[in-house]
Amino acid sequence: MKLLLGIGGSDDSIRALERTVARVAETGDDLTVAILRNPATEADPEGIEQRVRAVLDDAATSASVRHLDGDPGSRLVELAEQEEYDRIVLGGGETSPMGKIKLGGIAEFVLLNSHVSVTLVR
Amino acid sequence: MTDDYPDEVAGPFPRPPTTFEDREGRSITIRRYDPEDREALTAMYEAFDPADRAQGIPPTSEKRITEWLDAITGEETVNVVAVHEGSAVGHATLVPDEPANTAELAIFVLQDYQHAGIGTRLLKTLLGAGAAVGFERVWLSVERWNDPAISLYEKVGFRASDTESFEHEMSIRLADQTESTG
Protein backbone atom coordinates (compact mmCIF):
# COMPACT_ATOMS: atom_id res chain seq x y z
CA MET A 1 0.00 0.00 0.00
CA LYS A 2 1.16 3.50 -0.83
CA LEU A 3 0.97 5.66 2.32
CA LEU A 4 1.30 9.40 2.70
CA LEU A 5 1.97 10.55 6.27
CA GLY A 6 1.54 14.25 6.97
CA ILE A 7 3.53 15.67 9.87
CA GLY A 8 3.61 19.25 11.11
CA GLY A 9 5.42 18.85 14.41
CA SER A 10 2.52 18.70 16.88
CA ASP A 11 2.72 15.97 19.54
CA ASP A 12 0.03 13.90 17.90
CA SER A 13 1.78 14.10 14.53
CA ILE A 14 5.00 12.80 16.11
CA ARG A 15 3.05 9.93 17.65
CA ALA A 16 1.51 9.18 14.25
CA LEU A 17 5.02 9.11 12.74
CA GLU A 18 6.33 6.64 15.32
CA ARG A 19 3.34 4.33 15.06
CA THR A 20 3.24 4.43 11.25
CA VAL A 21 6.96 3.75 10.87
CA ALA A 22 6.69 0.82 13.30
CA ARG A 23 3.87 -0.59 11.23
CA VAL A 24 5.59 -0.02 7.89
CA ALA A 25 8.63 -1.87 9.27
CA GLU A 26 6.35 -4.91 9.56
CA THR A 27 4.22 -4.56 6.44
CA GLY A 28 6.74 -3.17 3.96
CA ASP A 29 4.24 -0.54 2.77
CA ASP A 30 5.56 2.22 0.53
CA LEU A 31 5.77 5.27 2.82
CA THR A 32 6.16 8.93 1.97
CA VAL A 33 6.53 11.41 4.84
CA ALA A 34 5.31 14.90 3.96
CA ILE A 35 6.60 17.62 6.27
CA LEU A 36 3.94 20.33 6.54
CA ARG A 37 3.92 23.91 7.70
CA ASN A 38 1.47 23.68 10.60
CA PRO A 39 0.59 27.24 11.71
CA ALA A 40 -0.40 25.84 15.13
CA THR A 41 3.13 24.69 15.99
CA GLU A 42 6.45 26.46 16.14
CA ALA A 43 8.39 23.39 15.01
CA ASP A 44 10.87 24.21 12.24
CA PRO A 45 10.76 21.97 9.15
CA GLU A 46 14.45 21.02 9.40
CA GLY A 47 13.98 19.92 13.01
CA ILE A 48 11.00 17.80 12.00
CA GLU A 49 13.01 16.23 9.18
CA GLN A 50 15.80 15.26 11.62
CA ARG A 51 13.20 13.68 13.86
CA VAL A 52 11.71 11.77 10.92
CA ARG A 53 15.14 10.49 9.82
CA ALA A 54 15.94 9.39 13.37
CA VAL A 55 12.69 7.45 13.72
CA LEU A 56 13.23 5.79 10.32
CA ASP A 57 16.83 4.87 11.20
CA ASP A 58 15.78 3.38 14.55
CA ALA A 59 13.27 1.17 12.78
CA ALA A 60 15.73 0.37 9.94
CA THR A 61 13.01 1.51 7.54
CA SER A 62 13.16 3.76 4.52
CA ALA A 63 10.71 6.36 3.27
CA SER A 64 10.81 9.30 0.94
CA VAL A 65 10.75 12.57 2.82
CA ARG A 66 9.26 15.64 1.17
CA HIS A 67 8.53 19.18 2.24
CA LEU A 68 5.20 20.77 1.38
CA ASP A 69 5.09 24.57 1.52
CA GLY A 70 1.89 26.55 1.73
CA ASP A 71 -1.46 25.57 3.17
CA PRO A 72 -0.82 22.18 4.81
CA GLY A 73 -4.19 20.46 4.44
CA SER A 74 -4.84 21.38 0.82
CA ARG A 75 -1.28 20.61 -0.29
CA LEU A 76 -1.43 17.19 1.36
CA VAL A 77 -4.75 16.27 -0.26
CA GLU A 78 -3.53 17.54 -3.63
CA LEU A 79 -0.38 15.40 -3.44
CA ALA A 80 -2.32 12.31 -2.33
CA GLU A 81 -4.77 12.62 -5.21
CA GLN A 82 -2.31 13.56 -7.93
CA GLU A 83 0.19 10.83 -7.11
CA GLU A 84 -2.45 8.21 -6.37
CA TYR A 85 -1.70 7.35 -2.79
CA ASP A 86 -3.93 4.71 -1.17
CA ARG A 87 -4.10 6.38 2.18
CA ILE A 88 -3.31 9.57 4.07
CA VAL A 89 -2.17 9.13 7.68
CA LEU A 90 -2.36 11.95 10.24
CA GLY A 91 -2.20 12.51 13.97
CA GLY A 92 -5.62 12.03 15.52
CA GLY A 93 -5.73 15.18 17.64
CA GLU A 94 -4.73 16.34 21.09
CA THR A 95 -6.51 15.55 24.35
CA SER A 96 -7.61 18.38 26.64
CA PRO A 97 -7.05 18.24 30.43
CA MET A 98 -10.63 16.95 30.65
CA GLY A 99 -9.85 14.11 28.28
CA LYS A 100 -11.77 15.55 25.34
CA ILE A 101 -10.39 14.77 21.91
CA LYS A 102 -9.74 17.83 19.81
CA LEU A 103 -9.00 17.30 16.15
CA GLY A 104 -6.26 19.46 14.65
CA GLY A 105 -6.97 21.96 11.90
CA ILE A 106 -5.10 19.99 9.24
CA ALA A 107 -7.03 16.80 10.05
CA GLU A 108 -10.35 18.67 9.86
CA PHE A 109 -9.56 19.96 6.39
CA VAL A 110 -8.23 16.64 5.12
CA LEU A 111 -11.21 14.64 6.43
CA LEU A 112 -13.68 16.93 4.72
CA ASN A 113 -11.82 17.27 1.43
CA SER A 114 -9.86 14.12 0.66
CA HIS A 115 -11.09 11.56 -1.85
CA VAL A 116 -8.30 9.31 -0.57
CA SER A 117 -8.97 7.25 2.58
CA VAL A 118 -7.68 8.85 5.77
CA THR A 119 -6.34 7.19 8.91
CA LEU A 120 -6.16 9.19 12.15
CA VAL A 121 -3.71 7.69 14.62
CA ARG A 122 -4.97 7.64 18.24
CA MET B 1 -7.47 25.71 25.39
CA THR B 2 -8.67 29.21 24.78
CA ASP B 3 -6.88 32.43 25.65
CA ASP B 4 -9.88 34.64 25.03
CA TYR B 5 -12.08 35.41 28.06
CA PRO B 6 -14.85 37.98 28.53
CA ASP B 7 -13.74 41.14 30.33
CA GLU B 8 -16.84 41.10 32.47
CA VAL B 9 -16.95 38.94 35.60
CA ALA B 10 -19.96 36.57 35.69
CA GLY B 11 -21.89 35.52 38.75
CA PRO B 12 -22.11 35.42 41.67
CA PHE B 13 -23.02 31.75 41.56
CA PRO B 14 -24.52 29.61 44.33
CA ARG B 15 -22.25 27.26 46.24
CA PRO B 16 -23.08 23.67 47.04
CA PRO B 17 -24.94 22.09 48.70
CA THR B 18 -28.38 22.94 47.36
CA THR B 19 -31.62 20.97 47.20
CA PHE B 20 -34.47 21.74 44.81
CA GLU B 21 -37.39 20.16 43.04
CA ASP B 22 -36.79 19.57 39.32
CA ARG B 23 -39.42 20.12 36.63
CA GLU B 24 -40.57 16.50 37.04
CA GLY B 25 -41.15 17.04 40.75
CA ARG B 26 -38.10 15.03 41.85
CA SER B 27 -36.07 16.18 44.81
CA ILE B 28 -32.49 16.73 43.63
CA THR B 29 -29.52 17.58 45.83
CA ILE B 30 -26.36 19.07 44.36
CA ARG B 31 -23.28 18.78 46.55
CA ARG B 32 -19.51 18.57 46.38
CA TYR B 33 -18.23 15.21 45.21
CA ASP B 34 -16.99 12.97 47.99
CA PRO B 35 -14.77 9.90 47.39
CA GLU B 36 -17.67 7.87 48.78
CA ASP B 37 -19.68 8.92 45.72
CA ARG B 38 -17.30 7.11 43.42
CA GLU B 39 -19.36 3.95 43.11
CA ALA B 40 -22.53 5.92 42.35
CA LEU B 41 -20.69 8.03 39.79
CA THR B 42 -19.24 4.97 38.06
CA ALA B 43 -22.76 3.50 37.92
CA MET B 44 -24.05 6.70 36.33
CA TYR B 45 -21.43 6.57 33.60
CA GLU B 46 -22.00 2.87 33.00
CA ALA B 47 -25.68 3.71 32.41
CA PHE B 48 -24.88 6.75 30.27
CA ASP B 49 -26.21 6.63 26.68
CA PRO B 50 -23.17 6.47 24.37
CA ALA B 51 -25.12 8.54 21.81
CA ASP B 52 -24.72 11.50 24.20
CA ARG B 53 -20.94 11.24 24.32
CA ALA B 54 -18.98 14.24 23.13
CA GLN B 55 -15.40 14.29 21.93
CA GLY B 56 -14.64 10.91 23.43
CA ILE B 57 -16.04 11.46 26.92
CA PRO B 58 -17.44 9.91 28.95
CA PRO B 59 -15.48 6.83 27.95
CA THR B 60 -17.42 3.59 27.60
CA SER B 61 -15.46 0.64 28.99
CA GLU B 62 -15.20 0.10 32.75
CA LYS B 63 -11.41 0.41 32.61
CA ARG B 64 -11.50 3.69 30.70
CA ILE B 65 -14.22 5.11 32.97
CA THR B 66 -12.05 4.30 35.99
CA GLU B 67 -8.96 5.97 34.52
CA TRP B 68 -10.93 9.00 33.45
CA LEU B 69 -12.65 9.44 36.84
CA ASP B 70 -9.28 9.07 38.59
CA ALA B 71 -7.93 11.91 36.45
CA ILE B 72 -10.86 14.32 36.75
CA THR B 73 -11.40 13.85 40.50
CA GLY B 74 -7.69 14.26 41.28
CA GLU B 75 -5.92 17.01 43.17
CA GLU B 76 -7.08 20.59 42.60
CA THR B 77 -10.13 19.50 40.59
CA VAL B 78 -13.62 20.62 41.65
CA ASN B 79 -16.50 18.16 41.25
CA VAL B 80 -20.18 18.41 42.08
CA VAL B 81 -22.79 15.68 41.79
CA ALA B 82 -26.57 15.82 41.45
CA VAL B 83 -28.15 13.10 43.54
CA HIS B 84 -31.69 11.70 43.45
CA GLU B 85 -32.72 9.05 45.99
CA GLY B 86 -29.12 8.00 46.54
CA SER B 87 -28.22 7.73 42.86
CA ALA B 88 -25.91 10.07 40.96
CA VAL B 89 -27.91 11.55 38.07
CA GLY B 90 -25.62 14.40 37.08
CA HIS B 91 -22.00 15.41 37.42
CA ALA B 92 -20.01 18.52 36.60
CA THR B 93 -16.28 18.99 36.88
CA LEU B 94 -13.51 21.58 36.68
CA VAL B 95 -10.06 20.30 35.77
CA PRO B 96 -7.09 22.67 36.14
CA ASP B 97 -5.41 23.92 32.96
CA GLU B 98 -2.66 26.41 32.14
CA PRO B 99 -2.23 29.22 33.11
CA ALA B 100 -2.82 29.18 36.89
CA ASN B 101 -6.39 29.57 38.16
CA THR B 102 -7.82 28.36 34.85
CA ALA B 103 -10.01 25.29 34.46
CA GLU B 104 -11.70 23.27 31.74
CA LEU B 105 -15.35 22.41 32.42
CA ALA B 106 -17.53 19.44 31.53
CA ILE B 107 -21.04 18.48 32.61
CA PHE B 108 -23.12 15.33 32.16
CA VAL B 109 -26.73 14.64 33.06
CA LEU B 110 -28.18 11.14 32.84
CA GLN B 111 -30.67 10.86 29.98
CA ASP B 112 -33.82 10.38 32.12
CA TYR B 113 -32.95 13.53 34.05
CA GLN B 114 -32.29 15.84 31.11
CA HIS B 115 -34.64 18.76 30.25
CA ALA B 116 -35.64 19.12 33.91
CA GLY B 117 -33.54 22.12 34.92
CA ILE B 118 -30.83 20.03 36.58
CA GLY B 119 -28.07 20.98 34.12
CA THR B 120 -28.50 24.71 34.74
CA ARG B 121 -28.36 24.25 38.53
CA LEU B 122 -25.43 21.89 38.29
CA LEU B 123 -23.50 24.30 36.10
CA LYS B 124 -24.14 27.33 38.30
CA THR B 125 -23.31 25.44 41.47
CA LEU B 126 -20.08 24.11 39.97
CA LEU B 127 -19.05 27.65 39.01
CA GLY B 128 -19.88 28.79 42.56
CA ALA B 129 -17.71 26.04 43.99
CA GLY B 130 -14.95 26.82 41.50
CA ALA B 131 -14.95 30.54 42.27
CA ALA B 132 -14.81 29.71 45.99
CA VAL B 133 -11.53 27.82 45.56
CA GLY B 134 -10.00 30.54 43.41
CA PHE B 135 -10.59 29.62 39.78
CA GLU B 136 -10.72 32.84 37.74
CA ARG B 137 -11.22 31.60 34.20
CA VAL B 138 -13.18 28.59 32.93
CA TRP B 139 -13.42 27.31 29.36
CA LEU B 140 -15.19 24.44 27.66
CA SER B 141 -15.65 22.99 24.22
CA VAL B 142 -18.96 21.90 22.76
CA GLU B 143 -19.84 20.33 19.42
CA ARG B 144 -21.05 23.15 17.23
CA TRP B 145 -24.33 21.47 16.32
CA ASN B 146 -25.28 21.08 19.98
CA ASP B 147 -27.56 24.13 20.17
CA PRO B 148 -29.30 23.20 23.46
CA ALA B 149 -25.95 22.93 25.26
CA ILE B 150 -24.65 26.17 23.71
CA SER B 151 -27.84 27.99 24.83
CA LEU B 152 -27.43 26.62 28.35
CA TYR B 153 -23.82 27.80 28.55
CA GLU B 154 -24.76 31.24 27.20
CA LYS B 155 -27.60 31.57 29.71
CA VAL B 156 -25.14 31.00 32.55
CA GLY B 157 -22.68 33.56 31.18
CA PHE B 158 -20.31 31.73 28.83
CA ARG B 159 -19.33 33.49 25.61
CA ALA B 160 -17.97 32.00 22.38
CA SER B 161 -14.19 32.30 22.25
CA ASP B 162 -13.33 30.16 19.23
CA THR B 163 -15.87 29.04 16.65
CA GLU B 164 -13.58 28.08 13.79
CA SER B 165 -13.33 24.33 14.26
CA PHE B 166 -15.64 21.32 14.72
CA GLU B 167 -15.96 22.21 18.38
CA HIS B 168 -16.93 25.63 19.64
CA GLU B 169 -14.89 26.90 22.54
CA MET B 170 -16.61 29.07 25.11
CA SER B 171 -15.28 30.87 28.17
CA ILE B 172 -16.36 32.70 31.29
CA ARG B 173 -14.57 34.90 33.82
CA LEU B 174 -15.25 34.22 37.50
CA ALA B 175 -12.98 36.86 39.03
CA ASP B 176 -10.80 39.79 38.08
CA GLN B 177 -7.28 38.81 37.26
CA THR B 178 -5.07 38.42 40.29
CA GLU B 179 -2.69 41.32 40.75
CA SER B 180 0.73 40.32 39.60
CA THR B 181 3.24 40.20 42.43
CA GLY B 182 6.18 39.78 40.06
pLDDT in tens, B22-33: 999 999 999 999
Which is it for strands B87-97 and B78-84: parallel, antiparallel or unpaired? antiparallel
* Closest residue on chain A to B165 (Cα): A105
Chain A residue numbers touching B68 (CB-CB < 8 A): 99
The complex scores an ipTM of 0.86
CA–CA dist B17, B30 (Å, integer):
5
B175 at A interface, C-beta within 8 A? no
Q: B9 near B175, Cβ under 8 Å? A: yes
Facing B71 at nearest CB: one of A99, A103, A108: A99
Res A71: pLDDT: 95
Res B140: pLDDT: 97
Res A77: pLDDT: 98
| B residues 125..164 contacting A (CB < 8 A) | 141
Is the pLDDT at B182 greater than 70, yes or no?
no
Facing A99 at nearest CB: one of B57, B96, B97: B57
Give the start-end residues of each E strand in A30-122.
30-35, 64-67, 87-91, 94-95, 101-102, 117-121
What integer best gives the mean pLDDT of chain B? 93
| Residue-range domain boundaries for chain A | 2-6+25-98+114-121
Confidence label for B180 from pLDDT (cuts 50, 70 and 90)? very low
| Residue-range domain boundaries for chain B | 18-173
Res B178: pLDDT: 56
The reply to whether residue A99 touches residue B93, judged by beta carbons under 8 angstroms, is no
Q: B6 near B171, Cβ under 8 Å? A: yes
Kindly report the CATH number that applies to the domain delimited by B18-173: 3.40.630.30
The reply to whether residue A100 touches residue B95, judged by beta carbons under 8 angstroms, is no
Confidence label for B176 from pLDDT (cuts 50, 70 and 90)? confident
What does the pLDDT look like over B104-126, one tens digit per residue?
A: 999 999 999 999 999 999 999 99
More confident residue, B49 or B182: B49
